Amino acid sequence: MKPVALIIDDEVQIRRLLRVALEAENYQVQEAETGQAGLIEIANRRPAIILLDLGLPDMEGLEVLKRLREWSEAPVLVLSVRDDEAGKVAALDAGAEDYVTKPFGTPELLARVRAAQRKTRPEEEVSVFKSGDLVIDLTARVITRGGHEVKVTATEYALLRLFVRHAGRVLTHRYILREIWGPKSEEHRQYLRVYVTHLRQKIEADPTRPRHIKTEPGIGYRFESSED
């Protein structure tokens, strides 16, 4: 049975473009023109991926996202003509897996759809992360690179574990700080920069050109597999 992709967007042309792209990737595509109709479709169809526009006629896409996160963990890829940093952060903090600005290229969009779905695998399945010569065993709490064990502090390990468990997803500065250091640390980005620098020095072949811990300027970080 084909996985369901739900498009919530009031622009007919965008829906047509997305339908063609997603059907070519073997999705069963459903559409909704309003936020309310989208919420009903989510409840009835239980989609494998949701593509959500922020500018809907009946309610803000951000409100749709907040409502569905009360009862659904379906991955959401936000689509918007808005390219402001605050809007991206708000969508990611509200529970979106990723954010794509219109107009977008189809290959990039499909790559982000695949990444959003990978993120939703049960955490128990992601016990060992391998990429190139980097191996992170979350069960044994052991990190190796090139066959040699990499020593990290407890905080560095907690940060790396958070990255691995959400691999492919953009994590905002505020989210990371809250998860690692607690809610009162959300504005202390310098903590995060220091620890990310330390981790890059330990796990990246070239810390100045990181392949794993990618910076999303002004927003946060994304943990990726190496191209090797």
| pLDDT of 111 strictly over 60 | yes
Do 219 and 131 have their domain in common?
A: yes
Q: CB under 8 Å to 193, separation ≥6 — which residues?
A: none
CA 189 to chain centre: 20
Longest alpha-carbon distance in the chain: 56
CATH number of the domain residue 163 falls in: 1.10.10.10
Q: Compute the distance between CA of residue 204 and CA of residue 11 in angstroms, rounded to an integer.
A: 43
How does residue 119 score in pLDDT terms, banded at 50, 70 and 90? Answer: low
Residue 55: which domain range? 4-119
Q: Is residue 127 part of a domain?
A: yes
Q: pLDDT digits over 71-83, tens only?
A: 788 899 999 887 7
Do 100 and 190 have their domain in common?
A: no
Mean pLDDT for the chain overall: 88
This prediction's pTM: 0.62
Do 108 and 128 have their domain in common?
A: no
Q: Is residue 228 part of a domain?
A: no
Do 110 and 145 have their domain in common?
A: no
Domain termination residue (choose one: 65, 88, 119) = 119
Domain termination residue (choose one: 101, 119, 137) = 119
Do 40 and 129 have their domain in common?
A: no
For residue 104, what are the CA distances in angstroms to 26, 100, 112? 20, 7, 11
Q: pLDDT digits over 143-156, tens only?
A: 999 899 999 998 99
| pLDDT of 222 strictly over 80 | yes
How does residue 120 score in pLDDT terms, banded at 50, 70 and 90? Answer: low
Do 88 and 190 have their domain in common?
A: no
For residue 117, what are the CA distances in angstroms to 56, 173, 180, 226? 24, 22, 24, 18
Do 17 and 115 have their domain in common?
A: yes
| pLDDT of 196 strictly over 90 | yes
How high is the pLDDT of residue 124?
Answer: 41
Domain termination residue (choose one: 93, 119, 145) = 119
How high is the pLDDT of residue 123?
Answer: 43
| pLDDT of 1 strictly over 90 | no
How high is the pLDDT of residue 224?
Answer: 87
How does residue 122 score in pLDDT terms, banded at 50, 70 and 90? Answer: very low
Question: Where do runs of H (alpha helix) occur along the chain?
Answer: 12-24, 35-45, 61-68, 85-93, 106-119, 154-165, 173-181, 189-203
Look at residue 141 and give its three-state secondary structure: coil
Q: How many domains does the chain have?
A: 2
